[in-house]
Amino acid sequence: MVAIIVHGGAGTIKKEDRIPRVIEGVRDAVLAGWRELKRGSALDAVEEAVKALEDNPIFNAGTGSVLTLDGKVEMDAAIMRGKTLEAGAVAGIWGVRNPISVARKVMEKTDHVILSGEGAVKFARLMGFEEYDPRTDERLKQWEELKKKLLETGEVKHWKKLGELIKGYPEVLRSTVGAVAFDGDEVVAGTSTGGIFLKMFGRVGDTPIIGGGTYANEVAGASCTGLGEVAIKLALAKSATDFVRLGMNAQAASDAAISLATKYFGADTMGIIMVDSRGNIGFTKNTKHMSYAFIKDGMNEPQAGV
């Protein structure tokens, strides 16, 4: 039994006319992963699915990443192999097209788990990743508007109104991407993001934190999306796999993980996708939307939705 699921981020898609494009994006990505999975590797499947999402400017990862308070792109990504617990991640990286591929190189070519900032960029260049500007005109325009609004409130210093501001623009905040796949032998999970719009320079979210936003072991894998600070504090991706270890299937474990997020931090905070090592798929959110697509043995077509 082989299976793969991807997400394109949890939150509210305010402009509903974007939904068909989002669904097309997750469907294309899951099919890119599925092709690799059919060749036998969950690792390649997760990398290819996440790359397809990073390359699609509608999602907040790779090309189309949101901008920091000071107008830069600082991307996070992680990948983890469930069988060996090998993991690689980059935090606050810029100037590359596919952070997930750099994360894979960290896993395969270094003794470390996470490389950040300048060091991550330096490592990417050593590995042959070319200079690339992931900013899009649409994101720059959104950044100008958000920054102007933020300045008008006069609260930049204390950040008091930032929460309110974010509520007005939820669709630009959360559209991180992720993939989890099982190839019949191992589960692999990967996540990639531009983070949260107007995040402070240097802020690292849950995505590259092993156990926070991304985790895989021999029983299951999970990729989270939503407010990174919530997933970090609950070690949510790892907790979700613990639920599988205790006997739940991927769907029950996803539900339990999101209940935990709602209990401690309220609704409209998190979404998760999972695959367990029996090939079961799970996905849950406490936000209005979370785009997803999955396909497994026995299905002719992916199932996708928000």
Contact 131, 105 (CB under 8 A): no
Q: Is 214 a catalytic residue?
A: no
Q: Which of 237, 145, 146 lies closest to 187 in space, CA to CA? A: 237
279 lines the binding site for ligand ASP (CB under 6 A): no
Rounded to whole angstroms, the Cα distance separating 61 from 97 reads 9
223 lines the binding site for ligand ASP (CB under 6 A): no
User: How large is the C-alpha radius of gyration of the chain?
Assistant: 18
Q: Which is nearer to ligand ASP, 44 or 206 (CB)?
A: 206
In the region spanning residues 79 to 98, those forming contacts with ligand ASP, defined by CB under 6 A, are: none
Size of the site for ligand ASP (CB under 6 A): 16
Q: Which two tokens stand for residue 177?
A: 């991407």
Instruction: Judge whether 205 is annotated as a binding position.
Output: yes
Instruction: Judge whether 227 is annotated as a binding position.
Output: yes
Smallest separation (angstroms) from ligand ASP to the CB of 294: 18
Residue 253: count of CB within 10 angstroms of its CB: 28
In the region spanning residues 6 to 35, those forming contacts with ligand ASP, defined by CB under 6 A, are: 9
196 lines the binding site for ligand ASP (CB under 6 A): yes
- State whether the Cα torsion 177-56-102-47 is positive or negative: positive
The β-bridge partners of 276 are: 220
Q: Which of 25, 57, 64, 226 binds ligand ASP (CB under 6 A)?
A: 226
Which residues fall within 8 angstroms of residue 95, CB to CB, at 6 or more apart? 121, 124, 131, 132, 133
Smallest separation (angstroms) from ligand ASP to the CB of 280: 23
Q: Which of 228, 279, 282, 302 binds ligand ASP (CB under 6 A)?
A: 228
206 lines the binding site for ligand ASP (CB under 6 A): yes
Which residues fall within 8 angstroms of residue 253, CB to CB, at 6 or more apart? 220, 222, 240, 241, 243, 244, 274, 276, 282
Rounded to whole angstroms, the Cα distance separating 270 from 260 reads 10
Q: Which of 301, 8, 21, 45 lies closest to 181 in space, CA to CA? A: 45
Q: Per-residue x/- mask for ligand ASP, residues 44 to 83, rule CB under 6 A?
A: ----------------x-----------------------
Smallest separation (angstroms) from ligand ASP to the CB of 263: 19
Mark the segment that binds ligand ASP (CB under 6 A) among 18-26, 182-190, 192-200, 282-290: 192-200
Instruction: Judge whether 137 is annotated as a binding position.
Output: no
Rounded to whole angstroms, the Cα distance separating 58 from 172 reads 10
213 lines the binding site for ligand ASP (CB under 6 A): yes
Smallest separation (angstroms) from ligand ASP to the CB of 213: 6
The phi, psi pair for 101, rounded to 5°, reads: -75, -35
Mark the segment that binds ligand ASP (CB under 6 A) among 21-29, 32-40, 86-94, 172-180: 172-180
114 lines the binding site for ligand ASP (CB under 6 A): no
Q: Which of 57, 134, 190, 205 binds ligand ASP (CB under 6 A)?
A: 205
Rounded to whole angstroms, the Cα distance separating 265 from 230 reads 7
Residue 267: count of CB within 10 angstroms of its CB: 12
Mark the segment that binds ligand ASP (CB under 6 A) among 81-89, 90-98, 201-209, 253-261: 201-209
Residue stretches of the annotated binding site = 203-206, 225-228
Residues that bind ligand ASP (CB under 6 A): 9, 60, 174-176, 193, 195-196, 205-207, 213, 225-228
Residues that are catalytic: 176
Residue stretches of the annotated binding site for substrate = 203-206, 225-228
